[in-house]
Chain A
């Protein structure tokens, strides 16, 4: 009997192949996206594994914020192996050729680092040669930005270096990580002469190790961990770096998989819709089979075999397409890749993709397919008796549950977090329900308040929305979901950007000069004034470290396993200021702000930022001690502050009153506002020329950088969203084509009765206008609500909706729906009725 079921499934499908192809076309892209991402992810994980040492460039990296002391150096020597040293910090550079200045990451290198992989440069040997002479190698994009070539020069601090090579790749660094501060490498022996190593500057000290082949670095560092911790040294081994990068990319592929999965879900809505129409048209065949003695299960099996075969075929085509698409992904992801990815076919991804595609398409098809089991043989006489009445079909609820579990399960596999999974699954379901509710509501409203006095064309097109076999529900869900997804992505990107733009709006400062030494501050202020720029803020900064909280030393807290004090507050270097007033980006939330401390025996009351206070587990009045460059300073918590970190201000975790730190070693920050690009460039040039150690953050540059980074990220997301968009279009086209088979008889009848081409066209246009309009509007509104939720709860920023793009999205989607609707119905319009009847019915 099984053989007969397959034979019947095949026989019955022969005359429906083009329509069955419509089912599968809607899942192809979703599967393709999943397989492409997973294949790519597999290749990348494999390459991260095989290129692990190149990610670190060494066997071990040790890092500190302070120069390594003798004890630490002795600890390093005890490890053995060969060492390289790197000192890096942010600083301004100047291109003498054109006077251009920019904040970069200066890296002074000594030794043969990287031991694995290479600093890839043009010319090739420059990456190695520059360290033996007075020369610099510079990030390729930076050189292009300042129209500078190899052979020109770059001024780093007080030294001008010839540029001997352009950097294209540094071990473990991605394109996106160098966008903020592009790297400039100089030899270590010239660092001192640049005069950039000033007190107070934020400097990273690193030592790279290479050990003999037999050394088990992981085990060695496990043993050494406590010694390193005692010395406040952070370290990274190859294994750790590999896991960090691996986890990051697993998260990335997980996120992209979810975007791909949405495309697949959208496709499955299409499958359910197509199968629904297909099965409706098969009712007579089912009834005939039942009449001839076929059991419910047998007729069900015939169509299930057809759908499953098509699902399998669609998944296989999708998997093949996905395997091809993955070869284009390195172009899309080029700025995010830590290693060169060598792509290959991932059978795991293909197998998983096919399995998911088959399973999910059958699951969604089951919803309409289940009714086949209940078709009465009496339907052969009258269609009103098509489905057997009686008990509620409980299997249907099982299918709903299975779909829910599948969505939730897939999301959990990608997100590995119960709350996020709940959010994703709930969000998708909510969107489905809202759209379905809108569709049902519209049908109810049109029926309830049907405008009987309107013209025939309006009445006919409105009636089409709720008549039997209408496509209202499916089209609104498919179009609406696609629109919601695209507009959410767009709004979130826009909100993030506008958040940065607000910070740089008219009355806000837009340039920060930092690392100014005490003896330079008056001169820098005077240059600023010479350029006619306001001195909005002039802030002294003192660096210090925490020594005790509530009289318990930092060391004791670190050893206390029951302590709830966050580790980050113990190890960090605090950059602190003092003043006698609060600024507008901060407000006291608890305690009292005491502006001055009289020199002498007065207690010092400091103000802590709320988050810091919470991490320190302190309350008002608790004692907290700091080591201010050798001097231990006992203070008390006087108040908590809420700080708006988004403002271009110098904001601080710890704020001292005046009268305490005035004589401590410090550096200064000046904040100003520059309105013209030309003035900004000239001003920066003047400051960097006079004081090369002073760094400048130009908000315009930050805006540009953020824009660039968001642009790169959104390009990747939009690329993935493209799968959903195209799937949405395919579902739309499929639904319209399938519904055409149902509408054709009526249109032909209307044509036969004398309806003109224009009248039929007007009816179709109006109907698709209603559908497209409502779907896109609902989709855009869901997108708005989704982006509002993401902005408020995930990014914790203000949501700023953009009304013009909203209108454009609405117009485009509605227009597209009308165009596709008309395009696919045109055969009815252009040909004589009889020809269509013979051909299509």
Chain B
């Protein structure tokens, strides 16, 4: 398997008042294509910052990130936006659906940005996969949290990403809804052969991935394979 994401000597700091606040320091890891991966750690450990950097949402202070073999650090924001649209999918804790678009339209956006002709057909197909065909004309405010996250999931897979970043995907959901969404994430991921990177502080969820790194104070304090999951080939 080839490497889809490679992070080398990553450092991120912000100016804060009269001193510099280091959020990430000396981060190194790589992720194989098609694998599942979790980043865990307590609040403020730099998980979300790391996810943002890996997905090309921000620039590192120093170090390099290679996504699908492309060095992100050299690219401007518009170029990184194109990379995101081509290779990356996102799932967020607070869903981040566009409030002014219907469920169907939200799923269509990444496809339309690529200029795909049959965006609506593909979006309907995904809507069907997440079981919300009957909610296609509903606005996000008319949907429950679980439904919104499923729309978010459909949108994330709409552009057939090579890598999917999920930021606390169950953080805003009750346990039952959360586990059904997790199930759906892993099912769709398996079906599409996508690499999955989950940021979470839910260890149970992290253990469903093949590998977990643990952050603390902006540094990797542990990097381990989830043996049970690896033994099962992939999580079920």
Contact = CB atoms under 8 A, between A and B. Distances in A.
Interface residues of B, number: 33
B85 A293 contact: yes
Interface string A376-415: 1110110001001000000000000000000000000000
Interface in B83-118: 83-86, 88, 90, 92, 96-101, 105, 109-110, 112-115
B57 interface: yes
B98 A296 contact: no
B78 A296 contact: yes
Contacts of B92: 380
B96 A376 contact: no
B57 A378 contact: yes
A8 B167 CA distance: 26
A13 B48 CA distance: 31
A331 interface: no
A452 B64 CA distance: 50
Interface string A6-21: 0110011111100000
Interface in A7-47: 7-8, 11-16
A371 to B, nearest CB: 14
Nearest to B53: A378
Nearest to A388: B77
A289 B98 contact: yes
A14 B100 CA distance: 7
Contacts of B84: 291-293, 377
A791 interface: no
Interface in B25-78: 48, 52, 55, 57-58, 77-78
A295 B96 contact: no
B200 to A, nearest CB: 15
A314 B77 CA distance: 35
Interface string B113-153: 11100000000000000000000000100000000000000
A299 to B, nearest CB: 9
A319 B84 CA distance: 45
Interface string A270-312: 0000000000000011011111111111100000000000000
A1 interface: yes
A608 to B, nearest CB: 75
Nearest to A384: B14
B100 A285 contact: yes
A380 B96 contact: yes
Nearest to B101: A11
B225 interface: no
A4 interface: yes
Contacts of B77: 290, 296, 376-377, 388
Contacts of A376: 57-58, 77
B81 interface: yes
B82 interface: yes
Contacts of A291: 55, 57, 84, 90, 96
Contacts of B115: 1, 4
Contacts of B82: 293, 295
A285 B57 CA distance: 15
A530 to B, nearest CB: 89
Q: Determine the interface band of chain A, counting residues with CB < 8 A from chain B.
A: 20 to 34
Contacts of B58: 376-378, 385
Contact of B98 (A7, A12, A381, A385): A12
B160 to A, nearest CB: 13
A15 B99 CA distance: 9
Contacts of B110: 292-293
A292 B105 contact: no
B57 A292 contact: no
A293 B110 CA distance: 7
Nearest to B158: A292
B98 A4 contact: no
Contact of A12 (B48, B81, B101): B101
A298 B88 CA distance: 19
A301 to B, nearest CB: 12
Nearest to B105: A11
B9 to A, nearest CB: 21
A381 B48 contact: yes
A15 B97 CA distance: 14
Nearest to B97: A288
Contacts of A294: 81, 85, 113
Contact of B112 (A4, A381, A388): A4
A293 B114 CA distance: 9
Contacts of A290: 77, 81
Given A12-B101, A381-B52, A388-B77, A284 B96 contact: yes
B167 A4 contact: no
A358 B140 CA distance: 33
B214 to A, nearest CB: 20
Given A376-B57, A380-B57, A381-B52, A295 B81 contact: yes
A388 B105 CA distance: 27
A14 B137 CA distance: 13
Interface in A500-522: none
Given A295-B78, A297-B78, A378-B58, A288 B100 contact: no
Contacts of B86: 293
Interface string B182-215: 0000000000000000000000000000000000
Contacts of A12: 98, 100-101
Contacts of A293: 81-86, 88, 110, 113-114, 159
Nearest to A281: B99
Contacts of B98: 12, 285, 288-289
A11 B57 contact: no
A285 B95 CA distance: 12
Q: Output the residue of B55, B82, B98 with the most chain A CB within 10 A.
A: B98
Contacts of B78: 295-297
Q: Output the residue of B55, B82, B99, B110 with the most chain A CB within 10 A.
A: B99
Contacts of A385: 58
A16 B100 CA distance: 8
B32 to A, nearest CB: 24
Interface in B162-182: 167
Contacts of A285: 98-100
A292 B90 contact: yes
Contacts of B101: 11-12
B139 A15 contact: yes
Contacts of B85: 292-294
Q: Output the residue of B85, B112, B139, B167 with the most chain A CB within 10 A.
A: B112
Contacts of B52: 377-378, 381
Given A290-B77, A293-B114, 12 more contacts: A285-B100, A289-B98, A294-B85, A295-B82, A296-B77, A296-B81, A376-B77, A377-B84, A380-B92, A380-B96, A385-B58, A388-B77
30 contacts: A4-B113, A4-B115, A8-B109, A8-B112, A11-B100, A11-B101, A285-B99, A288-B96, A291-B55, A291-B57, A291-B96, A292-B84, A292-B155, A293-B83, A293-B84, A293-B110, A294-B113, A295-B78, A296-B77, A296-B78, A297-B78, A376-B57, A376-B58, A376-B77, A377-B52, A377-B57, A380-B92, A381-B48, A381-B52, A385-B58
4 tightest A-B CB contacts, nearest first = A293-B85, A295-B78, A15-B100, A377-B57
Interface of A: 1, 4, 7-8, 11-16, 284-285, 287-298, 376-378, 380-381, 385, 388
